[in-house]
Amino acid sequence: MSEVEMSVEKHVFEADVAKLLHLMVHSVYSDKNVFLRELISNAADACEKLRYEAIVAPQLLGSDPAPRIMLTLDEENARLIVEDNGIGMSRDELVESLGTIARSGTRAFMERIEAAQSKDGAQLIGQFGVGFYSAFMVADNVDVVSRRAGSDTAWHWASDGKGSYTVSAAEPADAPARGTRITLHLMDDAKTYTSRWTVERIVKDQSGHVPVPISIIEKPGAEPAQVADGTALWTKQKSEISKEDYTDFYRGVAGQYDEPVLTVHFRAEGRHEYTALAFVPGSKPFDLFDPDRKGRMKLYVKRVFITDEAELLPRYLRFVRGLVDTADLPLNVSREMIQESPLLASIRKGLTNRVLTSIEKLAESEPENFAKLWENFGSVIKEGIYEDFERHTQLLALSRFRTASDDTPRGLSDYVKDMKDGQSAIYYLTGDNLAQLQGSPQLEGFRARGIEVLLLTDPVDSFWVTTAPDFEGKPFKSITQGAADLAGIAKRDSDAASSETSPAVAEFVTFAKATLGEAVSDVRASDRLTESAVCLVAPEHGPDRQLQKMLQGAGRIEGAAKPVLEINPGHALIAALAGSPAEDHAFREDAVKLLLDQARVLDGDKPEDPRAFAERLSRVFGRALQANR
């Protein structure tokens, strides 16, 4: 028996390790790939510790001063080897570091996990315990060989992660000159971790920006190939980064091949410190309106990828791509724990404010690029007016809208400046498409007076207008709801026909109201119509016509409120019908019901009873043909 074999020490885990690992895998980690991130993070920490110790003891670096992390893939033997030339560990450090979780027991481990969730909780990753044990998610045996910097002796730790581990002196020839080598004997379902493509993808996604270069050796004895250079773009000064550098990085982190229309790069300092690098894409992602789509901002801790599900921005900024890197969070807590962290709430608020401020500056300095941004993402940003009450005024000022007389989107500040004398509200019209809105009869009276009307075609428009009380003191008012109140605003054409109601028309309006009965809530003469004979509007209180249709279609309301039928008193058809013999009751009744169906069609609906509509139309045609004979 050799001296090395005689020095083997066997330690029995004091805790139930199988139960412990089950807790860790299901409560701390939700992705097996995370084991490689944790091992690389530990290796980077070891290199950083050596760098600091070498400040006062430079001899520790010897003839190998450059830090490195090597990943060796051994497909033939189903092994993955992670090696660094960092500080390394002595025998006592091996026992202490790799036995910490096991010796502390399951209950104590739970207490430490709970403590890590709090602001001042211990950072377990620094103890080389939780992160290291993630290796047992993919390996049924793990060997660790480590040599402390400045020491002549190397030590070997080995375990199957079930009940015990051994520590022994390592053969000098089998140990690194300095640092730690971890050999994972992979399970059958984890052999994919010997694939160059798999490992390189994980490294670039999760650890590509740790402060130590990472190389892959495709098989034992092969030359190493560097896959990460140990630098992180976001840690550099903005003056050191070119537009091309930003674009290349954006394409990597965003998974898109266009150019960003906006780049936001800043470092926050103070109570919480973090660095953010965010991009607004130059084109619309295909899944922008997927209801299950989440944001694409990645969270890093000390340049180590943690998650892309931390919700670092509100949903209405879900098109923004990029990352946030902080040193104020522990690396090894679960995504659920991170999401509840007060630090994340602070980062979310600061990042949201900075992104919106940058978009505002873009609107002022680069209107063409802002127009492109708004065309792609304006319909999403407007969700924030409805969802984010704290910032709804800022978002309203940022928003752009097409109007009835201008296809070029404009801001509300410009709209308010151009309001007519006597105009007290910001008028809008909602609908499914722009062409339909532009032909709406409800617009006629506003056009005749030169009053701008916002044309809102996005589904969210019907909702935010109900929650935004005003803009610069001017309330929002739907032109399809309630009275138009246009009588006090002069028409641009002084020769325009008068909208005053004659006694005959007033009588016809009364007749129409009696005829239609419960089909409408009211019939009245209109001051909003100048060309069309009739239109429908919603009652003064409740949702406007478009929102009512949406809520009814979604099953949110059982029945729609009865509409108001407005009749144009200056229209030739109305004048002719008003002058028809009062005793011709059947004809006048058919005419009134046809007018209601006409208004429904103009509003984008169908006649309520198509068969009755066709019969009435036939009778009216027949009467007209008979009169012309």
* 587 marked ligand binding residue: no
Q: Which of 525, 526, 536 is nearest to 596 (CA)?
A: 536
* 508 marked ligand binding residue: no
* 129 marked ligand binding residue: yes
Q: Is 62 left (phi over 0), alpha (psi -120 to 50) or beta?
A: left
* 128 marked ligand binding residue: yes
Q: Using CA atoms, how far apart are residues 388 and 157, in angstroms rounded to an integer?
A: 54
Token digits of residue 155: 């030590």
Q: What Cα–Cα distance (Å) separates residue 300 from each residue in 134, 209, 307?
A: 19, 9, 7
Backbone φ and ψ for 422, nearest 5 degrees, come out as 90, -10
Q: Using CA atoms, how far apart are residues 505 and 389, in angstroms rounded to an integer?
A: 47
Q: Using CA atoms, how far apart are residues 83 and 621, in angstroms rounded to an integer?
A: 91
* 126 marked ligand binding residue: no
Q: Using CA atoms, how far apart are residues 265 and 237, in angstroms rounded to an integer?
A: 9
What does the buried/exposed string (b/e) look like for 274-300 if buried means 16 or more CB atoms within 10 Å of the residue's CB? Answer: bbbbbbbbbeebeeeeeeeeebbbbbb
Q: Using CA atoms, how far apart are residues 9 and 571, in angstroms rounded to an integer?
A: 103
* 42 marked ligand binding residue: yes
Q: Which of 225, 231, 216, 230 is nearest to 70 (CA)?
A: 216
DSSP 564-613: EEEE-TT-HHHHHHHTS-TT-HHHHHHHHHHHHHHHHHHTT---SSHHHH
DSSP 112-130: HHHHHHSTT---GGGGTSH
Q: Using CA atoms, how far apart are residues 465 and 452, in angstroms rounded to an integer?
A: 16
Strand partners, 471: 474
* 390 marked ligand binding residue: no
* 255 marked ligand binding residue: no
* 364 marked ligand binding residue: no
* 84 marked ligand binding residue: yes
Half-sphere exposure of 298 (CA within 13 A, CB side): 22
Q: Which helix (H) or strand (E) holds 617?
A: helix 610-627
Contacts 24+ apart (CB under 8 A), 50-53: 50/85, 50/86, 50/87, 50/88, 50/149, 50/178, 53/87, 53/149
* 86 marked ligand binding residue: no
* 127 marked ligand binding residue: yes
Helices (DSSP H) in 426-564: which residue ranges? 434-438, 444-448, 461-467, 503-516, 545-553
Q: Using CA atoms, how far apart are residues 327 and 277, in angstroms rounded to an integer?
A: 15
Token digits of residue 612: 């009755």
601 exposed, middle or buried (CB, 10 Å; 0-12, 13-18, 19+)?
A: exposed
Sheet architecture: strand order including 304-307: 262-268, 274-280, 321-326, 296-301, 304-307
DSSP 392-447: HHHHHHH--EEETTEEEEE-HHHHHHTPPTT--SEEEEE-S-HHHHHT-GGGHHHH
Strand partners, 567: 525, 534
Sheet architecture: strand order including 564-567: 522-525, 564-567, 534-537
Q: Which residues are annotated as a binding site for ATP?
A: 38, 42, 84, 89, 104-105, 127-132, 180, 335
* Residues in binding site: 38, 42, 84, 89, 104-105, 127-132, 180, 335
